[in-house]
Each structure stands twice: as C-alpha cells, then as structure tokens.
Amino acid sequence: MRKVETPEGRSVRLLRVGEQVRHVLSELLMRGEVHDDTLASHLVSVTEVRMSPDLRHATVFVKPLLGQDEDVVLKALRTHTAFFQREVAGRVRTKYAAKLKFLADQSFDEGGHIDKLLRSDHVARDLGEE
C-alpha cells in the first residue's frame, strides 16, 4: 500500500478523520448538546481539526462569532473536553479515542493583519511605481 499525501505533507486519511471530528464537534455545539451557559450563549465555529499521525491526538481550532469572549469560550470548551472526547469516540470509528486539545484559531487575525499591510500607503506607493 502506498502512502497518499497532500502537498502540505499530511496524509489524506489524517485530513479525512480530522474533518469527521470537526463535523461531530460542530454538530454538538450547533445542537446545544453541551449543557453549558457560556457555550449556549455563543456561536462557536470549529474551523479546523488537525490529527496527529497516530490519530491519538486532535488539535481543535475554534473561533467564537466575531471573536467575542474567546478566552471564556475556550475555558468552557476545555471544561467539557471529556464529554466531547466521549461523543467523538462514539461517532468517529478509529482504533483509539482521540485526546482533544482546544485552541483559538489565529488565522483570521493573521489574515486581517496581512490584508491591512497590503492596503497600507507604503505598499500602494511601491505598487504604483511599476
């Protein structure tokens, strides 16, 4: 069997399992299956799930709507990690139940910063000389 990898170097299997985990977590949050006031009062997007090569660990990147109360939402998610792990283990068929680690997704902030830099006067001036 040959190993199939994406251009980024991650296997298709890791990406597929990560996407399955992301869907399960998104569904749990969307349906309000977690009994937590903070999570009930915030819309939370699960933007990406990165699986470790052995599928035993999953890094879950989340972003509250409009980036509000990010620390509070992360704390609530981390408080209910055992519940999420149990639900994911029951719905995503893998040999091991993945340990979940919740992190804030900074890619939107980085993208905004890059966009701001590209629109700055210095860059516009440099582009105008061509």
DSSP labels, 27-59: HHHHTT-S--HHHHSS-EEEEEEEE-TTSSEEE
**Strand partners of residue 51:** 58
Residue ranges of domains in the chain, CATH in brackets: 12-105 (3.30.300.20)
Q: What is the pTM of this model?
A: 0.76
DSSP 32: T
User: Whole-number mean pLDDT of the chain?
Assistant: 84
Q: What is the pLDDT of residues 28-37, one digit of tens each?
A: 999 989 999 9
Q: pLDDT over 70 for what percent of the chain?
A: 77
Q: What is the pLDDT of residues 45-74, one digit of tens each?
A: 999 999 999 999 999 999 998 767 889 999
